[in-house]
Amino acid sequence: HLRQLNKLKHTAAATADGETIELLANIETADDIKALHKFGADGVGLLRSEFLYLNRDSLPEEDELYQVYTDLVKKMKGKPLTIRTVDLGVDKNPRWFGGNGTPNAALNPALGLTGIRLCHAEPVMFRTQMRAVLRAAAHGTVKMMFPMVSGLAELRQSLVHLETAKRQLAERGDAFGTVETGCMIEIPAAALTVSTLLKHVDFVSIGTNDLIQYTLSVDRNDDSVSYLYQPAHPAVVRLLAHIIRTANRMGKGVSVCGEMAGDPDYTRLLLALGLRRFSMNTGNLLAVKEMILCSDTEKLESDIGRIMRNEDPDRVDMLLKKLNETEN
């Protein structure tokens, strides 16, 4: 089967009825970009930038970040690179932030000072990263995306910091490029107010890993409740449908960059909900492409109604299995 999959490397990702699908990669290092080119992905949908902040005693300086991002941008050979601003605070507290690479000791770290909130609490760190991203954008196509946004106030605040970062660069006389901006949707409140968020950004990317966690109140890292972690739970499916349809209606970009996007068991569900942009670990690209090639979006769109109307998770699982098994 692996050899069969390898033959798909240079096949365009399109459904059986001719819908073009964008396949993007989730990356962390320059090595991942090699794999991206090897598997023919269309760009990077998620660069997790945390690695530049962990396992060190002090914050990275702007020039160091600029060098790393510029190296990555150049290796993209014109394809877009979506850099997620740093998303810290739950699993590991960096040493420079009073931690020791240890888990956050707050009672509910996943509901505490994490992601974009931590960036707003550390504005100098945040704008330093933004300036590095903006300068790297002078060398290629770069998009900037904010993690763990809960609503308009946090998004607005992030965009104000971005304007400040641009002004600082202009005052210094440093060259920088333009970036599309995006917002991750991984908190139910953001999902339900996505039409408002989309008035302020170019795209959204759905982080299903966290969206599932917060919707179902199931810690994504706690084995004792992992049986409740259901990507196709009716509540999750409805949120996904709402986000994707709203973005499509508004003519804005929408992707999924959580693990769900790289799992061929959910490819047809996401296609049926109208998703046309998937971002995943490079190792999953070909298996998802294989599923796309044998799927018909018109047929899927007519089948999705029954799934959407159902509120019984077991029934939905069964209907989903049927959706995946049928010849399209």
Stretch that binds ligand PEP, among 134-142, 201-209, 224-232, 240-248 (CB under 6 A): 201-209
- Retrieve residue 197's tokens: 């968020």
> Which of 182, 258 has the CB closer to ligand PEP?
258
Instruction: Decide: 311 and 234 in contact? Cβ < 8 Å.
Output: yes
The entry of ligand PEP, Mg ion, none near residue 45 (CB within 5 to 8 angstroms by kind) is none
281 binds ligand PEP (CB under 6 A): no
> Which of 132, 145 has the CB closer to ligand PEP?
145
Binding mask 180-199 for ligand PEP (x = CB under 6 A): ------x-------------
220 marked as binding residue: yes
Give the burial string for 281-311 (b: 16+ CB within 10 Å, else e): bbebbbbbbbbbbebbbebbeebbeebeebe
The entry of ligand PEP, Mg ion, none near residue 257 (CB within 5 to 8 angstroms by kind) is ligand PEP
122 marked as binding residue: no
Q: Which residues, 241 to 280, sit near Mg ion by CB under 5 A? A: none
207 binds Mg ion (CB under 5 A): yes
Tracing tokens 């509540």 back to the chain, one arrives at 235
> Which of 39, 214 has the CB closer to Mg ion?
214
Question: Least CB distance from residue 263 to ligand PEP, whole Å?
Answer: 12
Residue of 273, 247, 251, 252 lying closest to 261 (CA atoms): 273
> Which of 87, 122 has the CB closer to ligand PEP?
87
Q: Judged by CB under 6 A, which of 258, 263, 273, 297 binds ligand PEP?
A: 258
Beta bridge mates, 253: 203
Q: Are strands 44-48 and 22-27 parallel, antiparallel or unpaired?
A: parallel
Helices 152-172 and 123-136, axial angle in degrees (round to 10): 60
210 binds Mg ion (CB under 5 A): yes
74 CB-contact burial (10 Å; exposed 0-12 / middle 13-18 / buried 19+): middle
Number of residues that bind Mg ion (CB under 5 A): 3
Q: Can you tell me the distance from the alpha carbon of 58 to that of 97, in angstroms, rounded to the nearest whole number? A: 9
> Computed from CA positions of residues 109, 110, 115, 121, in that sequence, does the dihedral angle turn out positive or negative?
negative
Active site residues: 257
Q: Which residue positions form the known binding site for phosphoenolpyruvate?
A: 48, 84, 209-210, 220
Q: Which residue positions form the known binding site for Mg(2+)?
A: 186, 210
